[in-house]
Chain A
Amino acid sequence: MEHYNMNLTLKVWRQKNTKEKGHFETYNVKGISSEMSFLEMFDVLNEDLVHENKEPIAFDHDCREGICGMCSMYINGRPHGPWNATTTCQLHMRAFKDGETITVEPWRAQAFPVIKDLVVDRSAFDRIIQAGGYISVNTGVTVDANATPISKVNADKAFSTAACIGCGACVAACKNSSAMLFTSAKISQLALLPQGEPERHKRALDMVHQMDEEGFGSCTNTGACEAVCPKEITLESIARMNREFLSASVVSED
């Protein structure tokens, strides 16, 4: 692909803290390379802002290789921007044309309050995992590898749901701000494996309960979450959670 430079107009959400009302600021960035990542473009803008003695834009980022789940920009009406199966850090500027205006917003959800500018508090996800997204095992002698037989199909499915990086794009895209794709991925990765079996029912009940407590909406199966998921987790995962929850509710003695 041919390299080119571009000038862009950015409309970026600025918000001092959780309590303050935010607003959009417009910035012009010049000479952006098509080979830059979206975050590198923000680095260039922030450097300009620092030189002008202005407050740089706060945004989340960490690994910048699409596996940590920290970056979280809502770009032109879509979480992580226009490319499918891509995190913001892996979105490259060649996705945009010279002279384009790009609107960048934080994830918007009651359960994800804005901390500053484009940074939102996603600790609600941590609390959902703490509610049951683990297995209890005794420490001790290392178990022999391959001691527990697992079918290839289930191993693959568990792996692909475990690919969830917890970025929250599913919540950001959902018209109901539902966290069901995330929660179902975390339930699925264990429900599909024998190690997850002992706490299976309790896990489904506790994690769904915590998800509701955190103030996420409920699912209406529009499929927006799977369309934007950078790890391509599918609605099959949500259906599995529904099954797990239904059977757990039936057998539960609470």
Chain B
Amino acid sequence: MATKNFFTSSVGRKIIVGLTGLFLISFLVVHLLINSFILVDLVNPNDNGATFNEAAHFMSHNWLIRVVEIGLFAGLIAHIAMTVKLTIENKKKRPVQYAVFDGKANSKWYARSMAILGSILLMFLAVHLSQFWWPTKEALYITHADENSFEMVKATLTNPINLAIYVVGVVALGYHLLHGFQSAFQSLGLNHKKYTPIIKTIGTVFAIAVPAGFAFIALSVFLGLVQ
């Protein structure tokens, strides 16, 4: 009998997708927390982004965060590599398509569109990293310029095109999470009469609240509510 490798089996691979997904979800919490320091200016007008800059400075200089950042990229790559491979393989499993397909009768559109939502997210991520992550690295390691993360965020997000890209990104994130959050638990085998409804509720709240939080902060910057 051929190899029964966990990592090549259909069940094993979806467990990896779920685990990496949950890891990436945990990162979102940290990201939103750091971003929320931008809003300190709303309650303390003299802040001028100082709290946010301090937090950003900590995130870019702490050695433990640096190590976790490498892990984060590894998790992201694993999640993408695994899902791309699975999507391509799954597509081949139905060589002749149905003439009539009533998708909405049996499942939610965003659950069937995780690959499309994920692709939108990946494109957004490329733009997002080039706009916010790379300039910080450049200042830190290449130009050794003074970094002012808050000014950089302001300069980028006051541009309506950049704001629009940002909003599209977080909406795609919301739908991706709406399925992904509870789906990860199911893949790990965690389905229980008592806990699954709780997980699903938390997942829905998370999928709405977190992207809404990101969008709210971005809008606050765009509208000049924080200076």
Contacts and interface: CB of A to CB of B under 8 A. Distances in A.
A209 B2 contact: yes
B15 A209 contact: no
Given A175-B112, A209-B9, A254-B4, A217 B100 contact: no
A221 B187 contact: yes
A236 B90 contact: no
Nearest to A173: B106
Nearest to A221: B183
Contacts of A31: none
A242 B11 CA distance: 6
B99 A78 contact: no
A122 interface: no
What is the interface residue range for chain A against chain B? 35 or more
Contacts of B106: 78, 173, 222-224, 227-228
Given A227-B105, A240-B191, A221 B186 contact: yes
Interface in A93-110: 103, 105, 108-110
Contacts of A150: none
Contacts of B191: 235-236, 238-240
- A interface SS class: mixed
Nearest to A110: B93
Given A212-B10, A213-B2, A245-B9, A224 B93 contact: no
Given A218-B90, A224-B107, A103 B99 contact: yes
Contacts of B15: 242, 246
A222 B111 contact: yes
B99 A176 contact: no
What is the interface residue range for chain B against chain A? 35 or more
B189 interface: yes
A110 B11 CA distance: 19
Contact of A242 (B95, B98, B179, B189): B189
30 contacts: A77-B105, A78-B105, A78-B106, A105-B100, A110-B92, A110-B94, A177-B90, A205-B4, A206-B4, A209-B1, A212-B9, A212-B10, A215-B93, A216-B93, A217-B94, A218-B13, A220-B14, A220-B90, A220-B111, A221-B179, A221-B182, A221-B183, A223-B107, A227-B105, A239-B186, A242-B188, A246-B15, A249-B4, A252-B4, A254-B4
